[in-house]
Structure 1
Amino acid sequence: MAGALDGLKVLDLSRVLAGPWASQLLGDLGADVVKVERPGAGDDTRTWGPPWVKDAHGQDTRQAAYFQCANRNKRSIAIDMATAEGQALIRELAAQADVVLENFKVGGLKTYGLDYESLKAINPRLIYCSITGFGQTGPYAERAGYDFLIQGLGGLMSLTGRPHGEDGAGPQKVGVALVDVMTGLYATIGILAALNHRHTTGEGQFIDLALLDVQVAALANQAASFLTTGVAPRRMGNAHPTIVPYQDFPTADGDMILAIGNDGQFSRFCAAAGHPEWASDARFSTNPARVAHRAVLIPLLRQATVMKTTAEWIALLESQAVPCGPINRLNEVFTDPQVQARGLRIDVTHPHFGSVPGVACPLRFSGSPVSYRQAPPQLGEHTVAICQEWLHRSDEPL
């Protein structure tokens, strides 16, 4: 079956993660994504290794695993946009595109005549999504922005890490470039919204998307708490500011997570733990009371949880409909029966390496399923084919 975005043409001028994450998702949904890369170098992440992808013989290919995570379902065209010929070729491609995606610094593409106004003049229906660190306006607009910097500046690191006073306390970034990933998702949402607007009005438009804006927007309940009280939340490790117990606990052989979200779940946990009296204790019987008496309750729970293994607790608490779970390393994630049942590990056929592993798109459609048609491309692998299909040119383009 055709993908949901079958027939959509996306010209991807972005690199690293936020932009490529968005264009990969569009490609998963069926769009024809053309990735423009620098001749001889390509996307920066091609060399962000080790680790490297292995070929069919188990040998390193010098193709970084990082690049593979965000570049399937794309075709690569090598164009030097610093030359007049390269700029002209990109404009030809943009004239045929539905979407242009880029993450250059503010004003960076205007020098080449590849900014929105220039391309809009030749393709008024164009959706042009620009991803920057800080947006097109404001005192920081000219600055380069990277995920790590934004996690610090945007407040996420002030909320992440062990509490003040504990061993190892201090600000901590998230273990993946979460701001880049979230920005890629917001970019995809924005592009789809703009396409629907074009469907009803015939008009293209410009999308100004900033990593900092995304980071602040994603502060969610923590931002709402601050705006309501004027008090800045502080790091709490794995504990939750307004739900108790909702954190990690030690077991006889490791750790587990309790994610108790209501009083009924807490009562069932207490009974399973052999302490039904906790559920009727006025200090613990309701969530607001448990939050107020966190310092008393958590040590009591820790004394109880160390009496069984993680597996024993999970089996017991799942039978009582108490949300709990292990803290898995990635080798355990990909052998988890639910992860395997959902097919979250995929292998995409590669014309040079045999196949490359990856993680499935989480979207499940009943009528227009996601497909994995193209492994992450070699640099410039499709230059001639793209020019033939998009521009109907049979000659070598550059």
Structure 2
Amino acid sequence: MSALSDLKVLDLSRVLAGPWCTQMLADLGADVIKVEKPGEGDDTRQWGPPFVRDAQGQSTPQSTYFLACNRNKRSLTLDIATPEGQALIRQMAAQSDVLVENFKVGGLKKYGLDYESLKAINPRLIYCSITGFGQDGPYAQRAGYDLMIQAMSGMMSITGRPDGEMGGGPLRVGVAITDLFTGLYAANAILAALSVRDNAKTGTGQGQHIDMALLDVGMAVLANQATAYLNTGEVPQRQGNTHPSLTPYQDFPTADGAMLLAIGNDGQFQRLCAAAGRPDWAKDERFARNTLRVQHRETLIPMLAELTRTRCTADWVALLGDQAVPCGPINDIGTAFADTQVQARGLRVTQPCSPAAQARLNVDSLYTVASPLRLSATPPVLRNAPPLLGEHTDQVLAELGLDAARIAALRQAGVV
């Protein structure tokens, strides 16, 4: 039994934030129906290269981006701009626990698929709207994308090297971080709303509307950088791989490349100095405590860098790891997946394709990253590989009570 095996989710979202949210619910056992536009589908189906390679090493029509956030779902193609499509959405919403959408504010109201309309059909429905800027405010009608939010929230202003250094300037994070965090926050909000609805002692029996905004999340995940500004008035600046409040906490050169040191307390610094053959540094009044090390960063870091160049990365990792000093190599993604700990945790997942996908893509399996949720009694179960566009249309419509003739008529009319 999975944690959310009794949950039915209607997924009208696309791209990343919404699908990331619903994939988490699907991994935990929810039955997620992904509604996609006939003939086109989720935007990310075409986001490539890279595309999945077939048995002969040739690119297929399936983008690898889509695979990242759509496993364990069933794909239904449906044109919600048609009255027949709207009626089917209402029928499914009446039987669903959760609906997730990321249309522009008010975009579904013209179809009668907004929260208030569906609440009248199913008062228990939890309706999660994901937008760039939220349901109100002067920017509510604007489209929002991760890169835009990284820029507007200030995240890019603290990511990258300072202006005075080579390569200096604002940078985006290497993945769509505000989309991903919005998906995580949305999933948490949905689980909270389910608890409010279904709690045996205090449950209301009622659903609610969840208003998730990428900008809200982008500001929230500034975390300590935001509170530093709010409480001091000082605007944080880019400082590369260093940390504003910890030292040494950055990359260092080695004899064959580089490594990462992440010293979080004075005890770790003492062990670092002892292992490196410089116990006197830990007793130096300039470096004895973290606050002092931060103040004397410009002195300490060059001294450490000169020392770290004397050994190879692997030697430092072995030496310091034995002394419980946080350090590690700076891997590329291929090297990361080859790491023994990553392999031991089973983080590369092989998912067999359905017969339809095998025939369409000429591949037997697709590969995704394991869910990091480790529940001892009800762990995530990877049931199905990411679906082909419309792969489950007939199956889902049959579950709604439509016979083969009716489904064929809808397909002929372009509704599905």
Q: TM-score, normalised by structure 1?
A: 0.98
Q: Give the counterpart of 1:392 among 390, 395, 401.
A: 401
Counterparts of 1:177 and 1:299, CA distance in 2: 34
Matching residue of 1:326: 329
Matching residue of 2:215: 212
Counterparts of 2:383 and 2:273, CA distance in 1: 51
Give the conservation status (yes or no) of the 8 Å contact 1:28–1:370. yes
Matching residue of 1:22: 21
Gaps of 5+ in 2: 411-416
Alignment of 1:168-317 (within 5 A): 168-199=167-198, 200-317=203-320
Partner SS for 2:338: coil
Matching residue of 1:49: 48
Change (3 A) 1:57 1:3: farther
Counterparts of 2:276 and 2:382, CA distance in 1: 47
Counterparts of 2:236 and 2:328, CA distance in 1: 26
Deviation at residue 26 of structure 1 after TM alignment: 0.5
Q: Which residue type is aligned with residue 6 of structure 1?
A: S
Partner SS for 2:151: helix
Pairing 1:364–2:411 present: no
Counterparts of 1:95 and 1:154, CA distance in 2: 37
Cα RMSD (Å):
0.9
Partner SS for 1:201: coil
Matching residue of 1:376: 386
Counterparts of 1:342 and 1:319, CA distance in 2: 21
Matching residue of 2:413: none
Counterparts of 1:223 and 1:174, CA distance in 2: 17
Counterparts of 2:346 and 2:99, CA distance in 1: 31
Q: Which residue type is aligned with residue 395 of structure 2?
A: A
Deviation at residue 267 of structure 1 after TM alignment: 1.1
Matching residue of 1:148: 147
Q: Which residue type is aligned with residue 334 of structure 2?
A: N
Q: Which residue type is aligned with residue 164 of structure 1?
A: D
Deviation at residue 57 of structure 1 after TM alignment: 4.2
Partner SS for 1:97: coil
**Identity percentage of aligned residues:** 64
Gaps of 5+ in 1: none
Q: How many residues end up aligned between the 2 structures?
A: 396
Alignment of 1:27-176 (within 5 A): 27-176=26-175
Where in structure 1 do 4 or more consecutive aligned residues deviate above 4 Å? none
Counterparts of 1:28 and 1:96, CA distance in 2: 20
Deviation at residue 8 of structure 1 after TM alignment: 0.7
Q: Which residue type is aligned with residue 271 of structure 1?
A: A
Q: Which residue type is aligned with residue 121 of structure 1?
A: A
Q: TM-score, normalised by structure 2?
A: 0.94
Q: Which residue type is aligned with residue 373 of structure 2?
A: L
